[in-house]
Structure 1
Amino acid sequence: MIAANKLSIQTPKPVDATTDVSSVSYPQIKERYQVAGQGHLLTYYEDLPNDKQTALLAQLQSINVERANRIHQKATTCPSPLLSNQSVFLAPLPEECFDSTLEASPEKIQEWQQIGLSQIAQNKVAVILLAGGQGTRLGSTAPKGCYDIKLPSSKSLFQIQAERILRLQQLAGQQSEAAAKVVIPWYVMTSGPTRPATVQYFEQHNFFGLDSENIVFFEQGTLPCMTFDGKIMMESKHEVALAPDGNGGVYAALRGSGVLADMTERKIEYLHAYCVDNCLVRVADPVFIGYCVQKNADCGAKVVRKISHDEPVGVVCLRNAEFNVVEYSEIDDEVARRINQKNGQLSFGAGNIANHFYTVGFLNKVESFESELEYHIARKKIKSVDFATGEIIAPKVPNGMKLEMFVFDVFPFTQRMAVFEVDRREEFSPLKNAPGAGQDCPETSRRDILQQHVRFIQNAGGNVVVGEDDQQVDGAPTLEISPLVTYSGEGLSQIVSGKSIKTPIKINSLQDFEKAIF
């Protein structure tokens, strides 16, 4: 087995690398890039000091320039059929691949949960965290997972998620088929810039109580930034302008970093993948895992019910008979308004929340169809070298493009897809916007967690009384329950049923309930 702690600190070989830079000369690089139509990247080579010449050659060698050209050509000449004149037929999800916790019986949900717990107990489940985002829009220089949404406990997103894993390992360990030690490996994908700070943050917090050998850090890939006519841009005279290849780059990164091999060594069969910014995410959710396993799915997606036909969220549906995520702006208003006569809900109402299930077998197949995946163009203002003057220009309007894949671009290639609708209040509260924005911001994230914990008590038969000294924020009583106490509300009824709890209160252990119950 790959030593996870070793894997977590090594720099993976770039996915695009071909040969060792030490064996490549300047003339070879120059010829290769001239043939590819990108010879301008060596314009200033002769004027650079030796160390910067070496750095530039190393970077150029690590880039598969031919692949970059192919990606640009495909993205600009073969756009999504929804953005071209190609015939497109959208259809709702087939009934046989869709279920909802909002409609399912408690017995059915319990059945799915038991299946999922059984798989976790046998050490067949791991988690992929897409954690490459920076907290820039939140006013933070740290990775987004380090962000404190100002809960009473001051826990970061990383800590909340880690403690959910710890609690779930404990719950799975109570199953009759449990391994001697239940482990849910946590594979954390960072970007290049956020990796050092992310690893350091985990180390400073002693990996939040998890075994460091079961937390594996790896980096998503990058692609060169390009002008609209396909020329690779330079950030400086000795550096190519690079950008992350999108969350869809996770598939190539899993291969190139050795993570897929590590999963095979650990005998992992099922993966749960999610984005770091959802404070309500149920990490390695046994209900979701169990549902997908029961469906024999090779790929699965959690969705939430759209609030309205025009809510600006992508929809999981069929596009030309293939599973896909269609952006809200790409769906005709008449289609968006259609109602399913059987349940009275929107026919195209499965809102995408970037929360997925995979089998390891499916992830290993991605390489075989990767060349067919779509690449999406993001038009950006990119600081770059003006080759006419040699100056670095900070443009005021978009001057180039970043090319990226989306994590859901693999959906059309699945053979057995499962789509699972969950309660938005319980499982989806993204952190996207700056404090004070009023939506998808730190205040709403904090509110949604605190309100959920109130529901935990109420659903367990208890009553929550707001104390006079509770300075509620955003209308949410100050009641925080550590994930180490309960994963999704389990285990509370025998403690709080028929009793009242007074806020403000922060519960870190079962004993803390004694201080609040009256």
Structure 2
Amino acid sequence: MTTSTSTVCLPGVFRGGAESRSQLSAVESLSQSMISTENLDLLPERGRAAVLSLIESDVDSSQSHVYGDWPEAGTQDEGKKRLSEQLADLNASYPGGLTDYLSKARTLLKESADGLNPFEEYEAIVPEGESLSFDGEGTMSFAEAEQLGMEAMSGAVFVLVAGGLGERLGYSGIKLSLETNLCTNRCYLEVYVQYIKAMQYLARQKTGRDDIRIPLVIMTSGDTDPLTRQLLKDNNNFGMDDDMISIVMQDKVAALKDGNAGLALDGDDRWSVQTKPHGHGDVHHLLHREGLVDKWEKEGRSHVVFLQDTNALVINSVVPTLGVSKAKGFHMNSICIPRLAGEAAGAITRLEHKTDPSKSLVINVEYNQLDPLLRSQGECTGDVADETGYSPFPGNANNIIIEMGAYAKTLRGEDQGVVLEFVNPKYKDESRTDFKKPTRLECMMQDIPKLFQKEMKGTANVGFTTFDRWFTFSPAKNALEAGVEAADKGSIAPGTMSSAESDKYIQNQRKLKFAGVDLDVTEPEDLVKVAGIPVTPGPRIILAPAFGITQEEILNKVKGNNKISKSSSLVLDGHHLTIKNLNLDGALVIRAGSESHVTVDGLTVKNKGWELVENDPSKEYEETVAIRGYTMAKHESQEYIINEPGNFVIGPDGEVKKVD
């Protein structure tokens, strides 16, 4: 094996003294690594530059296992090229390149090994925020918040964070393709798109402007990107314009094998670096990198709404949260829920710096960090409930709304939207050096206040808006088996597809009850187990986004004396659909087109309806059926699909009549 002593030019280094010193450093490292000129020459240009960059920055030989001991040229050359290309890809996908990533990793791993307390200089206090209740009064009325939110709708942009598969749910496809309910069979992505379209429609009605269009960005991963694109293609974007949907794909980052941030090679492939997901915090850098935030700011858009992939209830909170953001001037507003003391959920917390107020910030603090922090200050009581029975620190539902101006300014800073990362290695022993399995740097979307604090010098106005759980939070995240186990332990929120579906029905029960409909709202004690999961016995109600995304719309569209039996199922869909004096005991579906004005007046429906039927344990089912544990038997239903423009009345006899 030969050793190179030739001068090597590194990309991006200016000519002159600095270049010479850099070249000399590279040559010395190259010599020490025993990588031959022949091996270097066979690499593609970008791969060769990546290898040299890694060698030059590796002052303590932590990466020598990557670039050292290569067999002579002519042996495993394709593997060498593949490795160099992967290093180049890792360089290109991370701001500052692989060198910056490994430098950050070494710092964070040392802090982890030393047991550094990240909150040592802070005191936790309850931040400023708002509490809203759909069917009651908070510190601000729901109606007031909603009215202000409707004024801000036209300036909204939506970002859907959807980088994960449904494996935890027992589903091998993308979570966005899962059916939110079995009454309409609409998947999560369709529900989100239909909500955005409904908001766009309402904004046009409120302003009289037909040019208002609200865009959607979907963040995918390598696992979900092709399936997401196919889902949109197969369904014609669910009716959304092509130029209103953008997709940005996040990259994975290098896995690390030890406390020195050594790159972890694949155990079965010496020429491949292991990679792992970086976290949904990537979304901020991706929006900056693709120029989307600058574009939105130039267009005069005001707020960015960030949603997670499988929490269909949260869309109800968007308009009032926009209103709170407008009223309080929040640069960032986290959608929250009441949090039980000690609950395994993050909490929005104001971290007051003990000596430098400019370093204070409002941010999510994980439950395992919050309790010890609270125990170290004040009365040392820890994470305990207040007089409401809940923790005074609101629970983070991980859906946020950010004001565009502050966001754009922050993303243009030196970090380019890369939120401050953390590392969570699992150590082999007390030496805290080697890991049980490779780790990586991680980032979270909700940690963007760290960049606000850095770029805005403590002037960022960050707050929260809390809603009842039934109104805004029921994610599908757990497999049926895990949910059954949780239910057996007394949980009424097992986080399965079936519980998420049930909670959607209950939410709509409450909305119609608020509008004066005579029906039974399912309370926790009324839940019945189907396939081991507590769900509502009914009525099963779906109010499509076109029927109403605001409290005002529902109150305007539900009139008179309406009655719905517990065994009923009801689907209402249409911008100009009004329900008056309906008596339902069975299944009823009414869909009206965008130019169809339909009034139900005095209709009585009685049929065998729909029911949930548990899966036979002796049979095998498709994943989409197995994850629920049941199917819906649609015995009988009465359906009205009216797309013709004009005014129509569905009368007591069930006949549809067109009126002038």
Please state how far the C-alpha of 1:448 moved relative to its aligned partner: 0.3
Give, in whole Å, the separation in 2 of the partners of 1:116 and 1:174.
14
Q: 1:402 aligns with which of 419, 437, 440?
A: 440
Distance 2:559 2:290 in 1: 47
Aligned CA distance change for structure 1 residues 48 and 168 (closer, same or farther; 3 Å): farther
Partner of 1:411: 449
Classify 1:65/1:346 alpha carbon distance in 2 versus 1 (closer, same or farther; 3 Å): same
Question: 2: distance between equivalents of 1:285 and 1:508?
Answer: 20
Aligned to 2:511: 456
Asked whether 1:479 is paired with 2:541, we answer yes
CA separation of 1:448 and 1:36: change in aligned 2, threshold 3 A = same
Residue number among 496, 504, 509 corresponding to 2:569 in the alignment: 504
Number of aligned residue pairs: 474
1:425 alignment counterpart:
470
Worse overlay, 72-81 or 136-145: 72-81
Residues 405 and 149 of structure 1, relative CA distance in 2, 3 Å threshold? same
TM-score by length of 2: 0.65
Q: Deviations over 1:31-81 (max 9, x none)?
A: 322223324334558567665544432221232221121121232133599
One of 77, 96, 100 as aligned partner of 1:67: 100
Q: Counterpart of 2:238?
A: 208
User: Which one-letter code corresponds to 1:311 in the other structure?
Assistant: E
* Worse overlay, 275-284 or 363-372: 363-372
2:401 is the counterpart of 1:357: yes
Counterpart residue identity of residue 402, structure 2 = Y
CA positional deviation for 1:460: 1.1
Q: Which residue does 2:347 correspond to in 1?
A: 315
CA distance, structure 2, for counterparts of residue 88 and residue 173 of structure 1:
49
Q: Which runs of 5+ in 2 are unaligned?
A: 1-10, 14-41, 92-96, 353-359, 376-380, 428-434, 454-459, 484-493, 522-527, 579-588, 591-599, 607-660
Which residue of the partner structure matches residue 99 of structure 1?
A: 130
Other-structure match for 2:45: 24
* Structure number, greater radius of gyration: 2
Distance in 1 (CA, whole Å) between partners of 2:241 and 2:411 is 30
DSSP-derived class of the 2:256 partner: coil
Partner of 2:631: none
Distance 1:454 1:161 in 2: 20
CA distance in 1, matches of 2:12, 2:252: 15
Q: 1:279-298 to 2 correspondence within 5 Å?
A: 279-282=312-315, 285-298=318-331
Cα 1:202–1:301 change in 2 (3 A) is: same
Deviations 1:207-258 (A, max 9, x none): 1111121011101243211112311123333332222211111111111233
Q: CA offsets, 1:83-136, max 9 Å, x none?
A: 528624433224xx3111037459733232222222223xx2101111111111
In 2, distance between residues paired with 1:25 and 1:248? Answer: 27
Does the 8 A contact of 1:303 with 1:421 survive in 2?
yes
Query: What residue number does 1:388 align with?
Result: none
**How many angstroms apart in 2 are the aligned matches of 1:138 and 1:310?**
25
* Range 187-196 or range 276-285, more displaced: 276-285
The within-5 A match list for 1:188-203 is 188-203=218-233
- Any conservation in 1 of the 2:198–2:549 contact (CA below 8 Å)? yes
Question: Could you tell me which of 195, 199, 205 is aligned with 1:174?
Answer: 205
CA deviations 1:379-425 (Å, max 9, x no partner) are 479xxxxxxxxxxxxxxx83210211111222243511121111111
Aligned to 1:238: 271
What letter is aligned with 1:499? N
Greater CA drift, 471-480 or 314-323: 471-480
1:134 aligns with 2:165: yes
1:369-388 map, 5 Å: 370=415, 373-379=419-425
Q: After superposition, where does 1:30-179 map in structure 2 within 5 Å?
A: 30-37=51-58, 38-42=63-67, 46=73, 52-62=79-89, 63=91, 64-79=97-112, 84=117, 87-94=120-127, 97-102=128-133, 104=137, 108-121=141-154, 124-175=155-206, 177-179=207-209
What's the C-alpha RMSD, in Å, of the aligned pairs? 3.3
Question: Could you tell me whether the CA contact under 8 Å between 2:46 and 2:88 is conserved in 1?
Answer: no
- CA 1:338/1:460 → structure 2, altered by over 3 Å: closer, same or farther? closer
Q: Distance in 2 between matches of 1:355 and 1:189?
A: 14
Q: CA deviation at 1:261?
A: 3.4
Give how far 1:168 is off.
1.4
- More deviation, 251-260/494-503: 494-503
| Residues 251 and 277 in structure 2, CA contact (< 8 A), matched pair in contact too | yes
- AA matched with 2:123: L
Cα distance between partner residues in 1 of 2:333 and 2:563: 40
Q: Deviations over 1:132-174 (max 9, x none)?
A: 1111111222111112244321111111111111211122111
> Cα deviations across residues 444-474 of structure 1 (Å, max 9, x unaligned)?
10110011111122111112379xxxx9952
AA of the residue aligned to 1:59: Q
- Partner secondary structure for residue 257 of structure 2: coil
Distance 1:170 1:237, change over 3 A: same
Is the CA contact (8 Å cut-off) linking 1:149 and 1:443 kept in structure 2?
A: no
Residue identity in the other structure for 1:327: E
TM-score where L is the length of structure 1 = 0.82
Q: 1:80 touches 1:374 (CA, 8 Å); kept in 2?
A: no
For residues 81 and 288 of structure 1, what CA distance do their matches in structure 2 show? Answer: 41
Distance 2:12 2:503 in 1: 48
Question: What is the match of residue 336 of structure 1?
Answer: 383
Provide the secondary structure at the position in 2 that maps to 1:419: strand
Distance 1:22 1:42, change over 3 A: closer
Q: Say which is worse superposed, 484-493 or 142-151, in terms of deviation.
A: 484-493
Any conservation in 2 of the 1:317–1:324 contact (CA below 8 Å)?
Answer: yes
Tell me the amino acid that sits aligned with residue 519 of structure 2: V
Q: Which stretch shifts more, 125-134 or 434-443?
A: 434-443
**Structure with greater contact order relative to length (CA < 8 Å, sep ≥ 6):** 1
CA distance in 2, matches of 1:112, 1:192: 39
Distance across 2 between alignment mates of 1:379 and 1:462 = 54
- State whether residues 338 and 346 of structure 1, in contact with CA within 8 Å, keep that contact through their aligned partners in structure 2: yes
SS in 1 for 2:548: coil
Query: In 2, distance between residues paired with 1:475 and 1:256?
Result: 45
For the residues of structure 2 that align with 1:336 and 1:277, how far apart are their CA atoms? 28
Q: Distance in 2 between matches of 1:203 and 1:253?
A: 23
Paired residue for 2:456? none
Percent identical? 19
Q: How far does residue 18 in structure 1 lie from its aligned partner after superposition? A: 8.1
The 3 A distance-change label for structure 1 pair 113 and 47 is: farther
How many Å apart are 1:187 and its aligned residue? 0.9
Cα deviations across residues 318-368 of structure 1 (Å, max 9, x unaligned)?
22342121111121362211536xxx4655431011111112222221352
Residue 289 of structure 1 deviates from its aligned partner by: 1.0
Distance 2:316 2:514 in 1: 21
Q: Is the 8 A contact 2:44 2:81 kept in 1?
A: no
1:281: Cα distance to partner?
Answer: 1.4
The range that moved more, 38-47 or 308-317, is 38-47
